[in-house]
Amino acid sequence: MKNFKYIFLTVFTLVILNSCTKKFDELNTNPDVPTSVSPDLLATSVLRSTFRFWNPNPTDWGTAQLFAKHCTNVSAGGNPYQYYGSYYPYGGFGWYQNLTSTKRMVEFANGNPALPSYEGLALFLKAYWGYYITLDMGDIPYSEAGKAEDGISQPKYDKQADVFDGILADLKEAELKFAAGVNFSGDIMLGGNAVKWSRLCNAFQLKVLQTISKK
Protein backbone atom coordinates (compact mmCIF):
# COMPACT_ATOMS: atom_id res chain seq x y z
CA MET A 1 0.00 0.00 0.00
CA LYS A 2 2.70 2.43 0.97
CA ASN A 3 4.25 1.96 -2.43
CA PHE A 4 1.51 3.91 -4.13
CA LYS A 5 2.60 7.01 -2.37
CA TYR A 6 6.12 6.69 -3.72
CA ILE A 7 5.02 5.84 -7.24
CA PHE A 8 2.69 8.78 -7.13
CA LEU A 9 5.30 11.18 -5.92
CA THR A 10 8.00 9.97 -8.26
CA VAL A 11 5.84 10.33 -11.34
CA PHE A 12 4.49 13.63 -10.11
CA THR A 13 7.86 15.26 -9.61
CA LEU A 14 9.50 13.70 -12.63
CA VAL A 15 6.82 14.89 -14.98
CA ILE A 16 7.02 18.41 -13.68
CA LEU A 17 10.74 18.81 -13.43
CA ASN A 18 11.48 17.11 -16.68
CA SER A 19 9.33 19.24 -18.92
CA CYS A 20 10.17 22.60 -17.46
CA THR A 21 13.75 22.89 -18.47
CA LYS A 22 13.42 23.17 -22.22
CA LYS A 23 14.92 26.30 -23.63
CA PHE A 24 12.21 28.34 -25.22
CA ASP A 25 14.46 30.30 -27.58
CA GLU A 26 15.94 27.13 -28.96
CA LEU A 27 12.48 25.65 -29.32
CA ASN A 28 11.23 28.65 -31.22
CA THR A 29 14.02 28.54 -33.78
CA ASN A 30 12.93 26.97 -37.03
CA PRO A 31 15.64 24.44 -37.89
CA ASP A 32 14.69 24.44 -41.57
CA VAL A 33 15.39 28.08 -42.38
CA PRO A 34 18.59 30.06 -41.81
CA THR A 35 18.70 33.13 -39.60
CA SER A 36 21.75 34.53 -41.34
CA VAL A 37 23.23 34.25 -44.84
CA SER A 38 26.34 35.35 -46.68
CA PRO A 39 26.43 38.59 -48.73
CA ASP A 40 27.19 36.84 -52.03
CA LEU A 41 23.92 34.85 -51.86
CA LEU A 42 21.96 38.06 -51.42
CA ALA A 43 23.93 39.74 -54.23
CA THR A 44 23.08 36.92 -56.62
CA SER A 45 19.35 37.06 -55.85
CA VAL A 46 19.13 40.84 -56.00
CA LEU A 47 21.05 41.08 -59.27
CA ARG A 48 18.94 38.31 -60.75
CA SER A 49 15.68 39.97 -59.76
CA THR A 50 16.94 43.32 -61.08
CA PHE A 51 18.31 42.29 -64.44
CA ARG A 52 16.43 39.09 -65.13
CA PHE A 53 14.25 39.06 -68.19
CA TRP A 54 10.78 38.99 -66.69
CA ASN A 55 8.03 39.52 -69.12
CA PRO A 56 6.72 36.55 -71.05
CA ASN A 57 5.08 38.85 -73.60
CA PRO A 58 6.42 37.73 -77.00
CA THR A 59 7.04 41.28 -78.21
CA ASP A 60 9.48 41.67 -75.35
CA TRP A 61 11.92 39.59 -77.26
CA GLY A 62 12.26 42.46 -79.62
CA THR A 63 12.24 45.39 -77.25
CA ALA A 64 13.53 44.53 -73.82
CA GLN A 65 17.07 45.27 -72.78
CA LEU A 66 18.54 41.85 -73.37
CA PHE A 67 17.81 41.45 -77.05
CA ALA A 68 17.42 45.00 -78.25
CA LYS A 69 20.91 45.12 -79.62
CA HIS A 70 20.51 41.84 -81.49
CA CYS A 71 17.11 42.10 -83.13
CA THR A 72 14.47 44.51 -84.24
CA ASN A 73 10.79 44.24 -83.63
CA VAL A 74 8.66 45.21 -86.58
CA SER A 75 4.95 45.38 -85.83
CA ALA A 76 2.06 47.30 -87.24
CA GLY A 77 0.48 48.18 -83.90
CA GLY A 78 1.97 50.31 -81.18
CA ASN A 79 3.21 48.73 -78.02
CA PRO A 80 2.99 50.20 -74.55
CA TYR A 81 6.73 49.98 -74.12
CA GLN A 82 7.23 52.53 -76.82
CA TYR A 83 5.14 55.05 -74.94
CA TYR A 84 5.85 54.27 -71.34
CA GLY A 85 9.14 52.39 -71.38
CA SER A 86 7.10 49.72 -69.65
CA TYR A 87 4.49 47.17 -70.62
CA TYR A 88 2.06 48.44 -68.09
CA PRO A 89 1.21 52.11 -68.08
CA TYR A 90 1.83 52.42 -64.38
CA GLY A 91 4.84 52.16 -62.16
CA GLY A 92 5.53 50.30 -58.95
CA PHE A 93 7.89 50.31 -56.01
CA GLY A 94 8.57 46.56 -56.21
CA TRP A 95 12.31 47.08 -56.75
CA TYR A 96 12.57 49.11 -53.56
CA GLN A 97 11.70 46.06 -51.49
CA ASN A 98 15.19 44.83 -52.45
CA LEU A 99 16.63 47.70 -50.41
CA THR A 100 16.28 45.43 -47.39
CA SER A 101 18.31 42.76 -49.20
CA THR A 102 21.12 45.18 -50.06
CA LYS A 103 21.10 46.55 -46.52
CA ARG A 104 21.55 43.01 -45.14
CA MET A 105 24.15 42.29 -47.81
CA VAL A 106 26.26 45.15 -46.53
CA GLU A 107 25.69 44.12 -42.90
CA PHE A 108 26.71 40.53 -43.55
CA ALA A 109 29.78 41.78 -45.46
CA ASN A 110 31.03 43.46 -42.32
CA GLY A 111 34.55 42.17 -41.75
CA ASN A 112 34.74 40.86 -45.29
CA PRO A 113 37.55 42.45 -47.36
CA ALA A 114 35.02 42.98 -50.17
CA LEU A 115 32.89 45.23 -47.96
CA PRO A 116 33.53 48.41 -50.03
CA SER A 117 32.40 46.63 -53.19
CA TYR A 118 29.19 45.37 -51.56
CA GLU A 119 28.59 48.91 -50.29
CA GLY A 120 29.15 50.15 -53.82
CA LEU A 121 26.74 47.57 -55.22
CA ALA A 122 24.05 48.60 -52.71
CA LEU A 123 24.45 52.27 -53.70
CA PHE A 124 24.50 51.54 -57.41
CA LEU A 125 21.35 49.39 -57.23
CA LYS A 126 19.44 51.98 -55.24
CA ALA A 127 20.32 54.58 -57.84
CA TYR A 128 19.48 52.22 -60.70
CA TRP A 129 16.04 51.35 -59.24
CA GLY A 130 15.33 54.97 -58.35
CA TYR A 131 16.22 56.03 -61.90
CA TYR A 132 13.70 53.71 -63.56
CA ILE A 133 11.00 54.30 -60.97
CA THR A 134 11.26 58.09 -61.26
CA LEU A 135 11.11 57.82 -65.05
CA ASP A 136 7.83 55.93 -64.63
CA MET A 137 6.30 58.11 -61.98
CA GLY A 138 8.09 61.44 -61.51
CA ASP A 139 8.11 62.35 -57.82
CA ILE A 140 8.90 59.27 -55.77
CA PRO A 141 10.29 58.37 -52.35
CA TYR A 142 14.07 58.22 -52.57
CA SER A 143 15.81 59.72 -49.57
CA GLU A 144 13.51 57.84 -47.15
CA ALA A 145 13.02 54.71 -49.25
CA GLY A 146 13.70 51.32 -47.63
CA LYS A 147 13.68 52.63 -44.07
CA ALA A 148 10.78 50.68 -42.52
CA GLU A 149 13.21 49.28 -39.97
CA ASP A 150 13.95 52.82 -38.84
CA GLY A 151 10.25 53.42 -38.31
CA ILE A 152 9.56 55.09 -41.66
CA SER A 153 6.77 52.91 -42.97
CA GLN A 154 5.40 55.63 -45.24
CA PRO A 155 8.43 57.33 -46.84
CA LYS A 156 7.92 60.85 -48.10
CA TYR A 157 7.91 61.63 -51.83
CA ASP A 158 10.90 63.65 -53.08
CA LYS A 159 10.70 66.07 -55.97
CA GLN A 160 12.03 64.44 -59.14
CA ALA A 161 14.86 66.95 -59.29
CA ASP A 162 15.93 65.94 -55.78
CA VAL A 163 15.64 62.28 -56.74
CA PHE A 164 18.08 62.81 -59.61
CA ASP A 165 20.45 64.67 -57.29
CA GLY A 166 20.27 61.73 -54.91
CA ILE A 167 20.86 59.23 -57.69
CA LEU A 168 23.93 61.09 -58.93
CA ALA A 169 25.33 61.42 -55.41
CA ASP A 170 24.82 57.70 -54.77
CA LEU A 171 26.42 56.76 -58.09
CA LYS A 172 29.40 58.94 -57.35
CA GLU A 173 29.84 57.36 -53.94
CA ALA A 174 29.39 53.89 -55.45
CA GLU A 175 32.10 54.64 -58.00
CA LEU A 176 34.47 55.58 -55.18
CA LYS A 177 33.68 52.42 -53.23
CA PHE A 178 34.36 50.22 -56.25
CA ALA A 179 37.52 52.22 -56.91
CA ALA A 180 39.02 50.48 -53.88
CA GLY A 181 39.28 47.64 -56.39
CA VAL A 182 38.29 44.66 -54.26
CA ASN A 183 36.55 42.01 -56.34
CA PHE A 184 33.50 40.37 -54.79
CA SER A 185 31.57 37.13 -55.24
CA GLY A 186 27.97 36.38 -56.08
CA ASP A 187 28.00 38.75 -59.06
CA ILE A 188 26.19 37.33 -62.08
CA MET A 189 26.60 40.48 -64.18
CA LEU A 190 30.28 41.47 -64.25
CA GLY A 191 31.90 38.51 -62.55
CA GLY A 192 32.58 40.51 -59.40
CA ASN A 193 35.13 42.71 -61.14
CA ALA A 194 35.22 45.94 -59.09
CA VAL A 195 36.99 47.88 -61.80
CA LYS A 196 34.25 47.13 -64.30
CA TRP A 197 31.63 48.08 -61.72
CA SER A 198 33.46 51.32 -61.07
CA ARG A 199 33.35 52.11 -64.79
CA LEU A 200 29.68 51.18 -64.92
CA CYS A 201 28.93 53.62 -62.09
CA ASN A 202 30.72 56.27 -64.01
CA ALA A 203 28.94 55.51 -67.25
CA PHE A 204 25.60 55.38 -65.57
CA GLN A 205 26.16 58.89 -64.18
CA LEU A 206 26.58 60.03 -67.77
CA LYS A 207 23.33 58.31 -68.72
CA VAL A 208 21.53 60.05 -65.86
CA LEU A 209 23.01 63.40 -66.78
CA GLN A 210 22.00 62.83 -70.38
CA THR A 211 18.46 62.07 -69.24
CA ILE A 212 18.15 65.27 -67.21
CA SER A 213 19.89 67.55 -69.71
CA LYS A 214 17.84 69.66 -72.10
CA LYS A 215 17.88 68.06 -75.54
Report d(CA 22, CA 29) in Å as an integer. Answer: 13
Q: Which of 60, 63, 101, 116 binds other proteins (CB under 8 A)?
A: 101
Q: What is the DSSP string of 38-103?
A: -HHHHHHHHHHHHHS-----TTHHHHSTTTTTT-----SS--HHHHHSSSSSS---GGGGHHHHHH
Q: Which is nearer to other proteins, 120 or 186 (CB)?
A: 186
Q: CB of 32: closest distance to other proteins in angstroms?
A: 5
Residues 182-201 that bind other proteins (CB under 8 A): 186, 188
Pattern of binders to other proteins over 65-94, x per CB under 8 A? ---------------------------xxx
Q: Which stretch binds other proteins (CB under 8 A): 31-39, 78-86, 162-170, 173-181?
A: 31-39
Report d(CA 125, CA 105) in Å as an integer. Answer: 12
User: Should residue 31 be labelled a site residue for other proteins when binding is judged by CB under 8 A?
Assistant: yes
Q: Which is nearer to other proteins, 70 or 150 (CB)?
A: 150
Q: Which of 9, 161, 169, 195 binds other proteins (CB under 8 A)?
A: 9
Q: Which of 149, 210, 214, 215 binds other proteins (CB under 8 A)?
A: 149
Q: Which of 15, 68, 161, 195 binds other proteins (CB under 8 A)?
A: 15
Q: Quick check: 45 and 101 in contact, CB under 8 A?
A: yes
Q: CB of 18: closest distance to other proteins in angstroms?
A: 9
Cα 176 off chain centre by: 20
Report d(CA 200, CA 110) in Å as an integer. Answer: 24
Helix axes 160-179, 115-137, angle to 10 degrees: 160
